[in-house]
């Protein structure tokens, strides 16, 4: 099994459709999808994100980090929420993503979540993180 993150990326148009839609219907569709993920035993986490207007950006492109209010300039660089699934393959993650109740124009980016086992195990910081993960029941 491997963890995959499904990153929900709306466009301006699909976000407007969502915001103008019946919220109860949206909750119902998402709730049914989440229930399928739960029943299949693959859902590890799922969260929506607040509106882009409440975003703060920390930009590391200069010598020191610069903090600004508001999101990046383009919606295509934002994401609205995510799922983390524990599935057998990338193809299984793709199949789940294809079933998500998204509006036309939306996109879902699928990325594998790396594990601590993929990092050098003799590194002091990896060892400390592994101990923390074991202590908190994450390993």
Q: How far is CA 55 from the centre of its chain?
A: 16
Which position has the higher pLDDT, 84 or 72?
84
| Closest C-alpha among 4, 5, 8 to residue 76 | 8
Number of domains in the chain: 1
Task: Write out pLDDT tens, residues 8-66.
Answer: 888 778 777 877 888 888 889 889 999 999 999 999 999 988 777 778 888 898 999 99
User: Has residue 68 been placed in a domain?
Assistant: no
CATH number of residue 115's parent domain: 3.30.70.1060
Q: What percent of the chain lies above the pLDDT cut of 90?
A: 50
With left for phi above 0 and alpha for psi between -120 and 50, is residue 50 left, alpha or beta? beta
Query: Which of 44, 138, 134, 36 minimizes the C-alpha distance to 87?
Result: 44
Residue 13 lies in a domain: yes
């Amino acid at each position: 099994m491997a963890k995959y993150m499904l990153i929900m990326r709306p466009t301006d148009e699909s976000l407007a459709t969502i915001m103008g839609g019946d919220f109860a219907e949206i909750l119902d569709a998402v709730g049914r999808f989440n229930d399928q993920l739960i029943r299949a035993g693959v859902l590890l986490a799922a969260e929506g994100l607040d509106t882009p207007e409440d975003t703060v950006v920390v930009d590391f492109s200069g010598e020191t980090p610069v903090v600004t209010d508001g999101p990046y300039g383009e919606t295509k660089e934002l994401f609205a929420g995510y799922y983390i699934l524990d599935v057998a393959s990338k193809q299984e993650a793709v199949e789940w993503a294809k079933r998500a109740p998204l509006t036309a124009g939306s996109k879902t980016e699928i990325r594998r979540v790396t594990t601590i086992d993929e990092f050098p195990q003799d590194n002091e910081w990896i060892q400390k993180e592994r101990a923390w993960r074991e202590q908190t029941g994450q390993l």
